[in-house]
Amino acid sequence: MMTREARMRFFFWINSFGVLLLCLFVTPTSASAPHPKEATTAPAEKPIAPKQVAATKTKAIPNTPDVTTVRQKVSVSRDQRPKVIRNGKVKISERDMELLARLVYAEGRGEPYEGQVAIAAVVLNRVASPQFPHSVREVIFAPNAFSPVQNGTLTQQSNESTRRAVQDAVNGVDPTHGSLYFFNPDTATSNWVWSRQQTVVIGNHMFAR
């Protein structure tokens, strides 16, 4: 038979084992994995497409003026300056009007006022004609066109009379009736110029088409 002490030890061991089993089955463990429903449901961040990245990098800063627009406002070409239209055919800038006044001064400062208007009208008739260049400057500096250009007597000088004559010609006054040439019949040596259809004589110049 077991002694009383032995029985006490046996019951103590059985009770301890039972308590241990009870703790194992009843106490929840914190290391258990979460239920799938309890997992986070925050959507994953979508990757940015390459085109979106490029668009983000090149996005313009608001209220910033375009460089091309600024340059266009700063740089204004001579062709954009105000021009005068003669009879709807010839466009001439203020700068070319002064150049034409200098040519009229060189060619006709000793001529009557009508003759000065006639010289300016010839130049403008050439600009309007398909046979000649289409700007006052190109007509005046064309090879062998006007003697003051050839011999270097076309200076920076003009006067009130020649400037007014140019303005009248630009406004449509044409005493030459559409002539494209003029020459001094007393000094002209070219047979070709004499072959042109003559229109009118004003002062010392004969005008022709």
Angle in degrees, 0-180, between the axes of helices 113-128 and 94-108, rounded to the nearest 10? 130
Half-sphere exposure of 3 (CA within 13 A, CB side): 3
Task: Note the helical H segments in 27-141.
Answer: 50-57, 67-74, 94-108, 113-128, 136-140
CB 169 within 8 A of CB 87: no
Residue 9: the pLDDT is: 72
What is the Cα–Cα distance from 19 to 163, expressed in whole angstroms?
A: 126
Per-residue pLDDT 10s for the chain (209 aa) are: 556 666 677 766 677 766 666 656 655 544 444 444 444 444 445 555 544 544 444 444 444 445 444 334 333 344 444 455 665 567 789 999 999 999 999 999 999 999 999 999 999 999 999 999 989 999 999 999 999 999 999 988 999 999 999 999 999 999 999 999 999 999 988 899 999 999 999 999 999 99
| Residue-range domain boundaries for the chain | 81-176
Sign of CA pseudo-dihedral 103, 105, 109, 114: positive
Architecture of domain 81-176: Orthogonal Bundle (1.10)
- How many angstroms separate the Cα of 177 from the Cα of each of 102, 150, 209? 23, 27, 9
- The pLDDT tens digits of the residues spanning 31-49 come to 444 444 444 444 445 555 5
